[in-house]
Structure formats: structure tokens, C-alpha cells
Amino acid sequence: MIIVDLQTQEEDNQSSSMEEIKLLAETAGGKVIAEAQQKREKIDPAYYIGKGKALELGTAMDEMAADLLVINGELSPTQLRNLENLIGGKIIDRTALILDIFARRALSRQGRLQVELAQLNYLLPRLTGRGVQLSRLGGGIGTRGPGETKLEVDRRRIKKKISSLKKEINEIRKHRDLHRKSRRDKGYLLVALVGYTNAGKSTLLNALTNSQVFTENKLFATLDPAVRELPQESGENVLLSDTVGFIKDLPPQLIEAFSATLEELQEADLLLHVVDITSPELGKLMSSVNEILSRLGIDEKQQVVIFNKIDALSNKEFAALEQKLRRGYPSSVFISAEKMLGITELQEKIESNLKSNEIRMKLFIPYDRWPSFHRLYEKGRVLKIEYQEQYVQVEAEVKEKFAKELSSFEKGPQKSAQT
Ligand SMILES: Nc1nc2c(ncn2[C@@H]2O[C@H](COP(=O)(O)OP(=O)(O)OP(=O)(O)O)[C@@H](O)[C@H]2O)c(=O)[nH]1
Ligand SMILES: [Mg+2]
């Protein structure tokens, strides 16, 4: 395959971007035989890379007998169609490449369903693009008969498949909700690993929980996240969950499709943000992770920033970086998940973070209010429940934020009986 990367004036992180697309291509099982770059002021609306460059690449593909042209960017359906018509060879964009990797790597039923959904979501507008004229002949919504084309049949079939996949995923989601709820009821706290793909999340999961989940020096090694028990000094029940790695400009189809997997993160009491300290652009990678977290609505969650792979730096490099990073991220931890460096400090940090900002409360809840107290299970940990005559007496540990809302129930039974 040949890879082409477009540099526009708005962007400035090209070299690493090229490294990343190459790694993606290799992860997808392709062999990169040539790479090209083009500088343009902005993206070409018709061909993305510009017609001249596209023709040039078409010739190169013929000459080198390359089977595939990979474009480092997301093409609109029209750009893809124009390029295909112009060049004749097979062309894929970054999103399609990522989808392909996900498809190869998804093993669980849920993973497979989610990938298939993402692929069909990606495909649908691209079918439409090709068939827009034909579609119009059809006469619009609800008309069947002479104007119906194969394309419309395809589209309808895909839409049907999409909705059945969504249904299936929803079933799994419900099941997981139950599972999560029972975890809550048992008083488990949840810590979740997040971070850029290949940062070392799974390696760290293994280090902290003494397990052997799959790790690899390729992108998106983890698609079916594992959950393991995380032993605590305090004896508290804590689970650590691995997550699908993030990547900058993660295709929205994937975020949507993987919402069931990513939902796990919503439940987390603490996020461990793992960062590869050897990455030349770690600041940017961290912002893209945070961007995705905010799209998922969980950027407010407590985060411990973990700089991993310190063993891969020389002492001098490490000293310089550490000083700089500590200033920017005062409560970060520096570790090597592989060489087990800094793990004890991290464990202590996790433990103290879980304890902080939780308040133990004794609540007296009138029976008529009790049904709405399911939230307690989500926002806190119920330690003890006693069903008294007039109220439910609950001992719980809850987050500071939630504690304020509950303070009116802290009063003894006599007082709460008046209200
Ligand atoms: N030198 C060094 N390499 C590490 C360390 N931790 C992880 N790695 C390597 O980094 C690569 C990626 O590790 P993973 O644990 O699979 O990374 P991940 O974040 O789970 O990646 P995805 O699941 O693909 O998102 C592997 O080749 C690991 O061996 C470390 O502390 N030092
Ligand atoms: Mg992993």
C-alpha cells in the first residue's frame, strides 16, 4: 500500500501523524511500500489531496503494483468516489483503516456487534453518495416499484441491519447494567484505565492485578476490555477495568458504536490516565484523550495522570522530562508498568484518591422517598440498611458533591418526621 498524508496550514503535527498512520496500516496487516506527502493551503473539496497529486499517485500505484492507497484523513463520500473514479485503484481513508483494525480485533460478541454497527454507519452515506441520482428517480420516501434500484434495496437492508444491531447491543447493555448494579450493591468501587492507544494500559492492568491480559506493540490491542480485582491495603473491594485505547480524531461512528463498552467509564470512581512518556507529542495525545472523555461527558471525573515507560528513557532524558511534567501535572505518577517501577507509589495514590472526597453519612429516609434513592447506589456506596418503622436508615459513603444534596436526610427521625 501507498500512504499519503496531507499537510494543510491549520495542522502542524505532521511527522507524528505520519508515524501513526504507518503504524495503523501495519496493524491492519498492510505493507507500506511508499509514502507521500502533499502540502496544500487547505483540503481540496473534490479530491481531498488535489487532482494533480491524485493522478500522480495513481501512476505510482500502477508502477509499484500497490494494491491500496491509504489517505491519512477522513474523506467525504464524494471525495472518495471522485478519487476512485480518477485513479481506479482501491482507496481507503483513516477511518476505514481504523474500522478495519477494529474488525480484526473484536473477539467478543459485543465487540463484533459494535464494530459491525460502526462499519455499516460508515458505509451507509457512502452508498448514498454513489446512488444519489438513482435514488432521486425512485420518487422519494415510501415509493416502491419501477423506480426501485438495487441500491435502494441495499440501503434499506443496511438500515434494517443497523437497527437490529442496535437492538442486540441494547440487550447486552441492559445485561451489563444489571451486572454493574450488582457490583455496586456489593460495594465495589470502580477504577478505569484510559489513555491513548499503545500507552501501556493493559500492561499496567497486568502489573496491578497480577493478570495476563493481552498486550502488544501495535494499536488497539484491546477491544474487549477486561475487568480485574484490584487488591487494596484497606481490604476495600475495588475493580480495575481496561478500556479500548483512544486515538486522535477517533471516528465518531466508533464512539457511538462502542458506547456500550465506553459506558463502563461513566461508572468509574476514578480514572487512571496512562500516558506514554516517550511519545514526542504527549501533550497533544493527552488533549485528544481528554477531548474524548469530555465527549463522553466524563471529563469532570477524578483523574490520576500516569506517565508510563520511564524505563525507556535515559536518566538524563527522564530527569528533564520529569521536572517539566511535574510542574504541569503536580499529582502525576511516573512508572514503568513493564519493569514494575513506581507501582507501589501508584497503588498508594489510587487508594488515597478513592478515599478522598467520600463522606460517610447516616441517613434517615422516609418510605415515600425511598424509591428515588436508587441513585445512592450509583453515586455512593451503601454500607448498611435498616428498615425501621417510619424510615429507612442507611449508612453510606458518598461523594462530596452528592453529600450536599443528602444533608437534609441526616437529621434524626423526629425532625424528618416533621417535614
Ligand atoms: N518500555 C516499556 N514498554 C512498555 C511499558 N508498558 C507497556 N509497554 C509496551 O507498550 C506496548 C503497548 O502496551 P499495551 O499494554 O498493549 O498498551 P495499551 O495501552 O493497552 O494499548 P491498546 O490496548 O492497544 O490501546 C507493548 O508493546 C508493551 O510491552 C513500559 O513500562 N516500558
Ligand atoms: Mg490494551
The alpha carbon of residue 200 and the mean position of all alpha carbons in its chain are separated, in whole angstroms, by 15
Cβ 343 vs Cβ 208: under 8 Å: yes
The full DSSP string for 196-214 is BTTSSHHHHHHHHHT----
**Structural element, H or E, at residue 16:** helix 14-27
| pLDDT higher than threshold 50 for residue 333 | yes
Helix then strand then coil, in percent of the chain rounded to 5, is 50, 20, 30
Separation of 221 CA from ligand 2 center, angstroms?
5
Probe ligand 1: pick from 203, 204, 205, 213, max atoms within 8 Å of CB?
Answer: 203
Probe ligand 1: pick from 215, 285, 286, max atoms within 8 Å of CB?
Answer: 215
Strand, helix or coil at 60? helix
Average pLDDT over residues 129-133: 41
CB distance 211 to ligand 1 below 6 Å: no
Which has more pLDDT, 348 or 139?
Answer: 348
Separation of 245 CA from ligand 2 center, angstroms?
6
CB distance 309 to ligand 1 below 6 Å: yes
Task: Provide CB contacts within 8 A for 389, sequence distance 6+.
Answer: none
Rounded Cα–Cα distance for residues 76 and 128 (Å) = 12
Q: Which ligand is closest to the CA of 220, given by its number?
A: 1
> Closest residue (by CA) to atom 16 of ligand 1?
215
Residue with cell 477511518: 95
Nearest to 190 by CA among 230, 226, 238, 224: 238
**Structural element, H or E, at residue 292:** helix 282-295
Tell me the β-bridge partners of 68.
90
Q: How confident is the model at residue 241 (pLDDT cuts 50, 70, 90)?
A: very high
Q: Locate 342 and state its grid cell.
A: 513506581
Rounded Cα–Cα distance for residues 365 and 359 (Å) = 17
Which has more pLDDT, 11 or 81?
Answer: 81
The per-residue pLDDT for 131 is: 40
Separation of 337 CA from ligand 1 center, angstroms?
8
Rounded Cα–Cα distance for residues 213 and 227 (Å) = 10
Tell me the β-bridge partners of 337.
none
CB distance 220 to ligand 1 below 6 Å: yes
CB distance 342 to ligand 1 below 6 Å: no
CB distance 212 to ligand 1 below 6 Å: no
Going 239 to 244 to 245 to 249, the CA torsion angle's sign is negative
Average pLDDT, the chain: 84
The per-residue pLDDT for 357 is: 63
**Structural element, H or E, at residue 284:** helix 282-295
CB distance 308 to ligand 1 below 6 Å: yes
CB distance 127 to ligand 1 below 6 Å: no
Report the range of poorest mean pLDDT among 87-91, 142-146, 165-169, 414-418: 142-146
CB distance 343 to ligand 1 below 6 Å: no
Q: How confident is the model at residue 338 (pLDDT cuts 50, 70, 90)?
A: very high
Separation of 177 CA from ligand 2 center, angstroms?
23
> Closest residue (by CA) to atom 11 of ligand 1?
217
Separation of 104 CA from ligand 2 center, angstroms?
15
The per-residue pLDDT for range 66-122, each reduced to its tens digit, is 889 999 988 898 999 899 889 888 889 999 999 888 888 888 888 889 889 999 988
Taking the model in full, what pTM does it have? 0.79
CB distance 336 to ligand 1 below 6 Å: yes
